[in-house]
Chain A
Amino acid sequence: MKKDLLKNSGLALFSGILIAVMVLANAMLSEKASQWPALVITHFVGLLTAGIVLLAKKQFSNIFKGVPVYIMMGGVLGFFTILLNNLCVNNIGVTMTLGLALVGQIIASGIAEHFGWLGFHVKKISLIKMPAYLLMAAGAAVMIIWG
């Protein structure tokens, strides 16, 4: 059990390393090939990878069947995430982009949960959670002002 926890934690760290390499790769491509071709290539390579896996698993059928259009919008949001990350990394670097993005993510999901927006499960922001949000906001402010 403990060995498993160690292995899985190691894998999660490794996944974080991959994210940083991925974000840098995408941003370097957008500098080399300009923004729009870079975004086409990045998504094409991802689609190709996902397609090969589906073929290997013999699941390459009825892919779009029965999918409500609105839940397919995750891919559109993903496009804007990569676009924004490319712009940011080329200007403020990987560390600051990923640091600020995490703060934006946690605060946005905290607010969305508080009001139950977008089908988020309603979870009120309690007073006891405030230090967490304040620490993160302070971290973001320190990065922006002194980074």
Chain B
Amino acid sequence: MIFSILALLSGANVAVSIILNARLGAVKGLYKGAFINYFMGLVIAIAFSIVLGSTGDWNFNITLVEFFILTGGALGYIVVLLNSSLTPKIGILYVTILLFIGQIATGSIMDMLGGLHVSWGKIVGSILILGGLVYLVKIEEKD
């Protein structure tokens, strides 16, 4: 339950950061904006690891097969560029719908591969959320 609430909060956090990033992009452009974002994130991450972490945390090995787990930051950057080029072409709402379908389909496959049960609750829940999103897009389009 606690993690479900954290996931909802994570999304609320995204809603606010979208607004801030749009303003940052308007001032500095997309490429510098993305750089500033990662810079600020890195400063906070270093501060947190100094205050809350220990040097022992850094004793870990990553095998060649696991190399992909290091690429999250680069993937995020590609996603930012891709989405900002698609949004003016097909509209933020369609981008959101298609992103969601891509995320949930891939997420379900990965959860299954990771040995996590993809329950009926998750499937029906995703379809209801998608239904709500599509309905919202239809309404917003009429406005």
Instruction: Name A's B-contacting residues (CB within 8 A).
Output: 4-5, 8-9, 11-26, 28-29, 32-37, 39-51, 53-54, 57, 59, 63-64, 66-68, 70-82, 84-85, 87-88, 91-109, 112, 118-120, 126, 128-129, 131-136, 138-147
Contact = CB atoms under 8 A, between A and B. Distances in A.
Interface in B89-143: 89-90, 94-96, 98-108, 110-111, 114, 116, 118-122, 124-133, 135-136, 139
Given A50-B31, A87-B6, A93-B114, A131 B15 contact: no
Contacts of A66: 27
Contacts, number: 397
Chain A interface, DSSP helix/strand/loop, else mixed: helix
B8 A140 contact: yes
B39 A75 contact: yes
Nearest to B33: A74
Given A41-B70, A101-B11, A147-B121, A12 B126 contact: no
Among A9, A97, A99, the most chain B Cβ lie within 10 Å of the Cβ of A99
Given A46-B38, A78-B40, A95-B108, 18 more contacts: A12-B95, A19-B102, A22-B75, A32-B69, A33-B62, A47-B35, A48-B73, A70-B20, A71-B23, A78-B17, A95-B118, A105-B15, A109-B15, A132-B136, A139-B127, A140-B8, A142-B124, A147-B122
Chain B interface, DSSP helix/strand/loop, else mixed: helix
Given A5-B90, A77-B13, A100-B8, A36 B48 contact: yes
A50 B124 contact: no
Interface of B: 1, 3-4, 6-21, 23-24, 27-29, 31-32, 34-42, 44-46, 48-49, 52-53, 57-58, 60, 62, 66, 68-79, 82-83, 86, 89-90, 94-96, 98-108, 110-111, 114, 116, 118-122, 124-133, 135-136, 139
Contacts of A34: 53, 57, 60
